[in-house]
Amino acid sequence: MVAIAERIPAQQYEWRPAVQSRSFSEVLVHVATGNFMLLDVIGVAAPADLYAELPVDGEARFLDLIRRNDELVASIREKHVVVGLLKRSLQAVSQSLARAGADELDRRLSFFGEETSVRRVYMRLLAHADEHMGQMIAYLRFNGIPAPWPDWRPDRRT
């Protein structure tokens, strides 16, 4: 995701395929803030500089995280800020996962009345990022921007 974010020219960060679709910058900020929100669900507090004055816990906290994420998606546009936020969120996920042992991954938690585990939340983080990585690849291709990695097929290498 970071390589894709870095590949997109700054002047195209506002491009979107349709009026109702998210722009490049909006998708990338959405992924980053989603990471912070899901980490918060498992007990890794969202960064105070981005999420000031949230309720202590519970459904109200989660709903305020969503509200704040929407504000961040709508307001962060500059490439260097978007890339920095994405890197910061992915680093937070990586550090948190590296610290989590088997007991932590298997820890049960209740989320809006549904039982889940920390492991399942990490799986949701992965699925969410993967979903939007595919979206970003489609956006790149539509704009004639090559992916930031070589094609493994010899006939398609540039």
User: For 64-119, what is each residue's pLDDT tens digit?
Assistant: 999 999 999 999 999 999 999 999 999 999 999 999 999 999 999 987 788 999 99
Domains and CATH numbers, the chain: 2-143 (1.20.120.450)
Tell me what the pLDDT averaged over the chain comes to.
94
Residue 146 φ/ψ region, left for φ over 0, alpha for ψ in the -120 to 50 degree band, beta for the rest: beta
User: For 40-52, what is each residue's pLDDT tens digit?
Assistant: 999 999 999 999 9
- Which pLDDT band, with edges at 50, 70 and 90, does 156 fall under? confident
> Model pTM?
0.93
Contact of 111 with 41, CB cutoff 8 Å: yes
Residue 53 φ/ψ region, left for φ over 0, alpha for ψ in the -120 to 50 degree band, beta for the rest: left
Residue 13, Cβ neighbours under 10 Å: how many? Answer: 20
Q: Which stretches of 59-158 are assigned E, i.e. beta strand?
A: 108-111, 114-117
